[in-house]
Amino acid sequence: MILGRLNHVGVATPSIADSIALYRDVMGATAIGAPFDLPAQGVKVCFVDTPNTQIELIEPLGADSPIRAFLEKNPAGGQHHVCYEVPDIHVAKAWFEEKGLRVLGEPRIGAHGTPIFFVHPRDMGGVLTEIMATPKGAH
Ligand code: CO
């Protein structure tokens, strides 16, 4: 396993519109993507670009969104996960599993259109960790 760049920090929010206003008007973000639905993952997503990484705003989509429980515990929203790039998603998955860490599901296409998987926060020092295949042509 080769640890790549920090691709994004995932931030759960009850309202992407309110969070966009915060990042734009308070934090001075100038590159904010259009929000889009990711029905397969049960979330609406919006990327805010910073000079060296992105913030991934995630809002629940549908009744059984996987981030509903998080927002019940954190009604104002909060930092939800961090995402690192790796050169090979399958090598990375096998690496974590070999070490006995809990990989949550099979690699699937994430918000960047590249394969991703999550590693259980209890096996990652309390941090829900997303592992993403480095996007083609990136960087
Ligand atoms: Co993410």
Residue 139 lies inside a defined structural domain of this protein: no
Residues annotated as catalytic are 130
Residue 102 lies inside a defined structural domain of this protein: yes
- Measure 82 CA to ligand 1 centroid, in angstroms: 7
- Measure 99 CA to ligand 1 centroid, in angstroms: 23
Q: Which domain holds residue 41?
A: 6-133
pLDDT in tens, 87-122: 999 999 999 999 999 999 899 988 888 999 999 999
pTM greater than 0.85: yes
Instruction: Take residue 134 and report the two structure tokens written for it.
Output: 């480095």
- Measure 4 CA to ligand 1 centroid, in angstroms: 15
- The band of 138, judged by pLDDT with boundaries at 50, 70 and 90, is low
- Here the CATH number for the domain that contains residue 104 is 3.10.180.10
Residue 116 lies inside a defined structural domain of this protein: yes
The number of domains in the chain is 1
Spatial strand order in the sheet of 78-86: 36-38, 43-49, 54-60, 6-12, 78-86, 129-133, 115-119, 103-109
User: Within its chain, how far is the Cα of 83 from the centroid?
Assistant: 6
Separation CA 115–CA 55 (nearest Å): 18
Residue 138 lies inside a defined structural domain of this protein: no
